[in-house]
Structure 1
C-alpha cells in the first residue's frame, strides 16, 4: 500500500534539478506546492514528504519554508552518503539532523543512506552498523540505499560519467546484493535492523529484478520501501501496465512512492532535471497516481459498492 508520496528527489542537487533554469528554486517551490495540494485532495491520508535533499542544507530548507512548502507537507527528508560523496564524516549524522531540526519541527526522514562496496565490501558492513547506531531512534524513517547493485550495462540516472570520474562508478556498488543477485556480507547485518530500517530500490521500466526483489525484501523482514513512479516514464508505451504490475507486486509493503523526472518534451529545457513548462501537469500526474494506487477511503467504498451485485428481492 502507498503510505507516503515524496515530491521529487534531491532537488538541491544539480544532477536532479537544473540550477541554471531555477537558481533560487522558486519554480521548484511552486511546483511542490501544487503537487502537495493535488495529492492532499486525492487522498489526505497519504503522508506528503518533501523530496530528500542532498546535500543536507538548512539554507535550502529555509527557502522552502519561505515559499510555503513546509506548510503543505507532513515531513521533510534528507539523503546522506558520508563514506562515498559527502564532505562530512559518518559520525556527523546527529549534527546534520539537528541542523534541519533548527529550521523545522516537521518529522525528518532519512530517505536515502548507504555505503558503496566500491573499495571493499567490508566497508559496507561497518558503515551499516555505524549508520544504524547513529540513526535508529534519531529519525522518523530510515531507508537504506539499496537492495541491488546497478547493472554495469545501465547508466546511473541523472549522473554525468565524464565529469565525475571514480565517483560515478560508486553508484554501481550500493546494493546489499551484487548485480547477479548474490548476497554481500552486509546483507546479514542489514537483516538485524529490520523492520526499523527500510529499503530504497528504484525499479527501471520493466525491471527484470522486481519479483526477486519482493522475495528478498520479505525474507529480510522489510516492511517499508521507497521507490518511484516516474513522470517521464508515464509517456512510454503501455506505461500504466508497468506501473500496475510494479505497484501490485509491492502491495504487501508500506510504500513511499517518489514522483519526479520531467519528460523531455514537457520541460523548459529538454531534460529530466528541468523545471516543467506547466507545473500543473506534474501536479496532475501526482494526483492521478494517488487516485489509482491509493484512493481515498470514501472513493474505495463507492467503488466497492458499485461492484457489489444487486440484492434480489
Structure 2
C-alpha cells in the first residue's frame, strides 16, 4: 500500500511538472516567435517549421491506424486542420508582426475559454452556469481594455491588426475544441490529422508563393526555431498537457494555465522588449482572474460545461 501511495505521489509530481512545462512554453512562445518574425525569419518560415515538422512526426500515427479511422473523421480533418492548424497558427504568427507578444498571450489562451463557452452554447446548447457567465464577463472586459489601448496607440503602431488576428486564432481554436469534444475525437488523432493535413496544405504554398527569410538567418537560429516551433510547441507541449490532465486533473491544469496571460507580459518585456501600458496590465490581470474563475471547481457534479472545460485544459497549448 505504501509503495502504491508513493507511486501515485510520484505520478502527481510529474503531472505538475508536465503542466508547468506546458505553461512555460505557452508563456515564452509569443515572445520568442515575435523576436524572430520581426527580425530575420518570415511568418511563412515559422509556420512551415511548426506544422511541417509536427506533421512529419505525427504522420506515422495516421499511417499505422488508417484502417481504424472512420471515413467521416478523415473528411472532418480538412476543416479541422484550418481551425486548429494552418489557419489558427497563421493568425498567431502573422499577428505577431504587428502586436506585442503580451497581447497574443492574453487574447489567445486568455480568451479561449470564453470562446468555447459561447460556441458550445450557440451550437450545442451547452448550458453556461452563473460562475462561467461571470468569468466570461471578466475575460471580455479585459479583451475590450486591450483593444481600447491598441486603438489609442498605447503599444505598437499596428497592434489592432495583430489583436484581431489573435482573437480570430482563439475563435478558430475554440471551434475545433468544441467539435472534437462533442464528436469524441481522441487528442492524438486530432492533432495528427491537423498537423499532417496542415503540412500538406502549406508545402505547395510555401514553395511557390511564400516569402522566405532563411537566407538571411543564421544556422543556429534556424535550428533553434525548428526545435522550438516543430518539436516543442508542435508536439511536446501537446503531450505534456494531456499527461497533466490525466494525472492531476483538467481543472487543476486549467487553473495553472491562468498564469499564461500575466506571465506572458513578463516574457514580452524581457524577451521581445515590447512596451506594456498601464491599461494593458489591468486588462491582462482581469483576463487572468476570469480564467481562474472559469476553471475553479463549482461542485462534484460533471456537467456538459465541465466536460468542455476539461478539453480546454487538455488542449490549451494548441491555441497559440
The bucket for the TM-score relative to the shorter chain is under 0.3
Structure scoring higher RCO (CA < 8 A, sep ≥ 6) equals 2
| TM-score of the pair, normalised by structure 1 | 0.27
| TM-score of the pair, normalised by structure 2 | 0.26
More strand by share: 1
More helix by share: 2
